[in-house]
Homo-oligomer: A and B are copies of this chain.
Amino acid sequence: MAGDRQPRLLTHPDLGDVELTTVLFALSDPSRLALVRELAAEGPRTVEECRGSEPDVPKSTFSHHLRTLREAGLVTNEPLGRRRVVALRREELEGRFPGLLDAVLGH
């Protein structure tokens, strides 16, 4: 069909193109690391649910952190209705950086 405009897709990097230093940097912020931990423990969540853990953080700030994680290949961010679902790219990360995520999550 003609107007098959997708519901606002964000770009996700191929993990093969992501540098280790980029991943480490994304994880080096306490807010972002906490979010990754939460996703690892609870599974995929909407942005709203994620934000529930730290309600004082403005939406734009939170969105920026999500972007940093997404561009580092750590999470996906897909539309679902009028929400968005954030998910950890666990298997892919394990393939690219074996043991890294487990080591980071182990604390």
Contact = CB atoms under 8 A, between A and B. Distances in A.
A47 interface: no
Contact of A24 (B27, B97, B98): B27
Given A20-B104, A21-B27, A24-B24, 11 more contacts: A20-B107, A21-B30, A24-B28, A24-B104, A25-B28, A97-B107, A98-B103, A99-B102, A100-B100, A102-B103, A103-B103
Contacts of A22: 28
Contacts of A28: 21-22, 24-25, 28
Interface of A: 19-22, 24-25, 27-30, 33, 97-100, 102-104, 106-107
Contacts of A103: 97-100, 102-103
